[in-house]
């Protein structure tokens, strides 16, 4: 699309949570520091919550990379926790590299997990179970996770757990049936949206990682307007910034103007709800029309609106 026009090596505002684009804005960096310190202290349960689009999965993957580089931890990652309690135990065993027959009983699976945890502890490594989208954990799975943390020596836990989830996770944990798990959560952190200064740095950071070396594409007033319109939510910032680049490319402009931004905002349905003036279906139809010329056509479409 516009990569060659802006001399980019890759798309700067992809929605895929790529840790190469991780930006240490204050909220995310404080959350990461909290996680690393709590895990080094051997705390059993840690919880991170945040609204949709605030970067929980990216932070989760950044934590996985940090722990892998540390060498003192073994991680088990569950990205899709909509599982039964049985499936959760099998998934943990798989993540720990345990070999077993698929028809093995649950008691034996738990025994194998406990043996592996003891082995890792003896080798000086802590085991961390990281669950993304934890608000989707069924109640029996939450209880299964709690029971897993009962595995311990006289002095320390054999398994630490980090839960990443939307605010609905707090609602689940507030139920009387989850009180035992709730009491075990020793550290908690809530991700907050970026302010205008962080959004400005975020835009420049992602453009730089993508290979951009030219003059500033998103001037400070534009960045502030993006921050306000997107409420500081990284995912929405990515969507709007991507459409700004498309619009600028459609005009052959090497800088983002207010006109580009206003059309990008108007074209983003999630910023307007059901009453959005421009539909994503029309965007897809515009893009489907061509290859290299398609990006320019889409940029012109965003600028022109429904009259095109």
Q: Which residue has the higher pLDDT, 281 or 64?
A: 64
- Superfamily of domain 26-190, CATH level 4: P-loop containing nucleotide triphosphate hydrolases (3.40.50.300)
Q: What tokens appear for 142 in the block?
A: 């939450």
Residue 302, pLDDT score? 53
Q: What tokens appear for 186 in the block?
A: 């020793």
From CA 89, how far away is CA 252, in angstroms rounded? 55
Residue 101, pLDDT score? 83
Whether pLDDT at 106 is above 90: no
Contact 146, 184 (CB under 8 A): yes
Q: Looking at residues 140-162, what average pLDDT do you find?
A: 88
Residue 286, pLDDT score? 40
Outline which parts of the chain fall under CATH 3.40.50.300: 26-190
* Number of neighbours of residue 215 by Cβ within 10 angstroms: 8
Whether pLDDT at 288 is above 70: no
Q: Looking at residues 217-243, what average pLDDT do you find?
A: 96
- Paired strand residues for 74: 127
Distance of CA 287 to the CA centre of its chain: 27
Contact 135, 168 (CB under 8 A): yes
From CA 293, how far away is CA 308, in angstroms rounded? 16
b or e along 109-138 (b: 16 or more beta carbons within 10 Å of the residue's beta carbon)?
Answer: bbebbbebbeebbeeeebbbbbbbbbbbbe
Share of the chain above pLDDT 70, in %: 88
From CA 35, how far away is CA 18, in angstroms rounded? 19
Q: Looking at residues 101-121, what average pLDDT do you find?
A: 91
The 8-class DSSP code of residue 48 comes to E
Q: Looking at residues 243-259, what average pLDDT do you find?
A: 94
Query: Which pLDDT band, with edges at 50, 70 and 90, does 273 fall under?
Result: low
Closest CA to 44 of 178, 182, 141, 140: 182
Q: What tokens appear for 66 in the block?
A: 């940090």
Whether pLDDT at 25 is above 60: yes
Closest CA to 243 of 278, 289, 199: 278
Whether pLDDT at 298 is above 80: no
Model pLDDT for residues 123-150, shown as the tens digit of each residue: 999 999 999 999 999 999 999 999 888 8
Share of the chain above pLDDT 90, in %: 75
Whether pLDDT at 21 is above 70: yes
Q: What tokens appear for 171 in the block?
A: 């609602």
Query: Which pLDDT band, with edges at 50, 70 and 90, does 299 fall under?
Result: low
Q: What tokens appear for 93 in the block?
A: 């065993």
Beta strands in 125-263 (DSSP E): 126-131, 159-165, 185-190
Whether pLDDT at 277 is above 50: no
Whether pLDDT at 259 is above 50: yes
Whether pLDDT at 17 is above 80: yes
Q: What tokens appear for 17 in the block?
A: 């949570």
* Number of neighbours of residue 240 by Cβ within 10 angstroms: 22
Average pLDDT value over all residues in the chain:
88
Query: Which pLDDT band, with edges at 50, 70 and 90, does 278 fall under?
Result: very low
Model pLDDT for residues 31-61, shown as the tens digit of each residue: 999 999 999 998 889 999 999 999 999 999 9
Q: Mapping DSSP to helix (H, G, I), strand (E, B) and coil, where does residue 49 land?
A: strand
Q: Mapping DSSP to helix (H, G, I), strand (E, B) and coil, where does residue 157 land?
A: strand
Whether pLDDT at 271 is above 60: yes
Q: Which residue has the higher pLDDT, 211 or 153?
A: 211
């Amino acid at each position: 699309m516009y990569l060659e026009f802006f001399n980019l090596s890759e798309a700067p505002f992809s929605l895929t949570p790529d840790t190469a684009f991780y930006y240490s804005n204050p909220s995310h960096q404080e959350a990461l520091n909290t996680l690393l310190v709590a895990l080094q202290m051997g705390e059993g349960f840690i919880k991170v919550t945040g609204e949709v689009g605030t970067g929980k999965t990216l932070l989760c993957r950044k934590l996985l990379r940090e722990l892998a580089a540390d060498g003192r931890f073994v991680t088990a990652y569950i990205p899709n926790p909509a599982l039964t309690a049985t499936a959760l135990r099998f998934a943990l065993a798989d993540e720990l590299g345990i070999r077993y027959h698929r028809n093995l009983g649950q008691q034996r699976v738990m025994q194998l997990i406990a043996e592996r945890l003891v082995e890792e502890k003896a080798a000086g490594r802590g085991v961390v179970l990281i669950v993304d989208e934890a608000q989707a954990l069924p109640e029996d799975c939450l209880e299964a996770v709690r029971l897993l943390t009962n595995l311990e020596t006289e002095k320390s836990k054999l398994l630490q757990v980090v839960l990443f989830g939307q605010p609905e996770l707090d609602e689940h944990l507030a139920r009387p049936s989850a009180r035992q798990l709730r009491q075990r959560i020793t550290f908690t952190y809530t991700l907050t949206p970026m302010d205008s200064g962080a959004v400005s740095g975020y835009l420049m950071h992602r453009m730089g990682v993508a290979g951009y070396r030219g003059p500033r594409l998103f001037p400070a007033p534009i960045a502030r307007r993006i921050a306000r319109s997107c409420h500081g939510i990284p995912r929405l910032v990515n969507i709007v910034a991507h459409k700004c680049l498309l619009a600028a490319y459609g005009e052959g402009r090497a800088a983002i103007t207010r006109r580009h931004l206003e059309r990008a905002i108007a074209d983003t349905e999630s910023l307007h709800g059901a009453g959005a003036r421009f539909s994503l279906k029309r965007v897809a139809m515009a893009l489907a029309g061509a290859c290299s010329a398609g990006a320019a056509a889409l940029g012109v479409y965003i600028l022109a609106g429904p009259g095109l």
